[in-house]
Amino acid sequence: MHFPPSLCFGRPIGRLAYSATLIVLLAGSALIAGETASSNWPQFRGPQARGVAEGYATPVEWDVKSGKNIQWKVPVPGLGHSSPVVWGDRIFLTTAVSGKKDPELKVGLYGDIKPVDDTTSHRFEVLAYSRNEGKLLWSRTAHTGVPRIQRHTKATHANSTVATDGTRVVAFFGSEGLFAYDMGGKLLWKKDLGTLDSGFFKVPEAQWGFGSSPVLHDDKVLLQVDVQGDSFVAALDAATGKELWRTPRDEVPTWGSPTVHRGAGRTQVIVNGWKHIGGYDIDSGAELWKMKGLGDIPTPTPYVAHDLIFLTSAHGDAIPVYAVKTSATGDISLSDDETSNQHIAWSDPRGGSYMPTSVVYGDLLYILRDNGTFSCLRATTGELLYKERVDRSSGGHTASLVAADGKIYVTAEAGEVRVVQAGPKLEVLATNDMGETLMATPAISRGTVFFRTRGHLVAVGHEPVE
């Protein structure tokens, strides 16, 4: 057992109640090695896509208008739902700049599947900012042209978050290509993967753009490309872009990103899906295990905690959440009357979420539904501790959950960020208004929470950014 990172680093715990501190203390021994005290947030949802950062006190309250706990705020051109990533003293982001002055973006809970009609030429850009000041260090136009695929009214042409390993930055713009830069912005290589249409499989003309993010691991770029026909998962050489392997998938378009997990004598690439949730050998692409899911068009990204793989979805008739053992092999699909088996620790056909990826913090699993329903369960058993509306407005929730310093950050599309105390009872510590639409998942590094709103990148923290 070890002390909470907030105490280890000699920083104030802030507004954490004693009960939350005790939970973090007791859960400490269960946290994955390497999770604590991480200063880098190198991909979507940070290290191993877990959405957890520890080692520093993070803010509870802030105010964009007055500047309270706002370290800096800088404008970002164009539209993008990609998340910021952090490595050392740099933040990386992507954006797509339309030829229209005010491109359409419609948030909220609605069912319109018609894509945006925008045939203007776009600039697909990769941006690098100073972590300390928010100063734009470099901007590179990866591609210019009319997008090959239209986007959903709630999406952008820069949905995919970049990945970095401190040597290179890999940006994925779907049909417009995959691009690798060094940390100074020099183009290393680029790859055209063809037209990648991740639209609604039931209505092919409803084009929605692309959303899966790349992952960098051991000098490999891992991709999940679930599209209208010829879906696949692949590994590329990070230094050259050369394809190392490609494994076909019998899958409809999905929007989740892959996750890499090393353990039990193997390293696997884990992907969410509908027809094919599964794990693949990272060196060969060989299938290790698979299962048929319940919710079609899954968006949440899988991640691992307590030797369990957590997967959710909620489009279609079912709203499942699964806890799959990392040792799974073969076809582990559940029969109609099962909620668990030799390879699946537990599942709930009605407990999942559509857009936001859940988070395991300590020994508790937190799940956010699009409508603001917030659930807390025991991660290893699925026991429900509470299920309440954290947001009773009629707005939607797309950004994924992230956690730090005994707190869960719950982001609404309208721009409100609710800070929830970790623990078995719901307690909202504060509600903070960012003043703009907020669709991107935040990043956390060294006590600072970085938010990408519709038009800005904002650093929120207690002290001047380190």
Q: What is the reported pLDDT for 38? A: 61
Contacts of 187 (CB under 8 A, 6+ apart): 140, 179, 180, 181
Residue 138, burial from CB neighbour count under 10 angstroms (0-12, 13-18, 19+):
middle
Average pLDDT over residues 280-305: 96
Given a contact cutoff of 8 angstroms between Cβ atoms, the answer to whether 259 and 215 are in contact is yes
Residue 353 carries which side chain, given as an amino acid letter? S
Which pairing describes strands 407-411 and 416-421: parallel, antiparallel, or unpaired?
antiparallel
> What tens digit of pLDDT does each residue of 306-353 get?
999 999 999 888 899 999 999 999 999 999 889 999 999 999 999 999
Q: Using CA atoms, how far apart are residues 214 and 2, in angstroms rounded to an integer?
A: 34
> What tens digit of pLDDT does each residue of 102-158 get?
999 999 999 888 999 999 999 999 999 999 999 999 999 999 999 999 999 999 999
CATH code of domain 5-460: 2.130.10.10
DSSP state of 6: H
Rg value, the chain, Cα: 20
> What tens digit of pLDDT does each residue of 177-215 get?
999 999 999 999 999 999 999 998 889 888 999 999 999
DSSP 373-420: EEEEEETTT--EEEEEES--SS----SPPEEETTEEEEE-TTSEEEEE
| pLDDT of residue 4 exceeding 50 | no
Q: Using CA atoms, how far apart are residues 80 and 157, in angstroms rounded to an integer?
A: 7
Q: Using CA atoms, how far apart are residues 100 and 121, in angstroms rounded to an integer?
A: 9
Q: What are phi and psi of 291, to 5 degrees?
A: -155, 155
Q: What is the reported pLDDT for 316? A: 82
SS3 content of the chain, % helix, strand, coil (to 5): 5, 40, 55
> How confident is the prediction for the chain on average, in pLDDT?
91
Q: Which residues pair with 360 in a beta bridge?
A: 365
The more confidently predicted of residues 27 and 233 is 233
Average pLDDT over residues 233-261: 97
Report the percent of the chain where pLDDT is more than 90.
83
DSSP state of 354: S
Residue 10, burial from CB neighbour count under 10 angstroms (0-12, 13-18, 19+):
exposed
Q: Using CA atoms, how far apart are residues 220 and 223, in angstroms rounded to an integer?
A: 10
Q: Which residues pair with 190 in a beta bridge?
A: 179
| pLDDT of residue 16 exceeding 60 | no
pTM: 0.91
Given a contact cutoff of 8 angstroms between Cβ atoms, the answer to whether 189 and 243 are in contact is no
217 closest CA partner among 358, 42, 82, 89:
42
Q: Using CA atoms, how far apart are residues 26 and 455, in angstroms rounded to an integer?
A: 40
Q: How far lies 44's CA from each of 93, 314, 357, 416, in Å? A: 11, 20, 11, 21
| pLDDT of residue 11 exceeding 80 | no
Q: What is the reported pLDDT for 348? A: 96
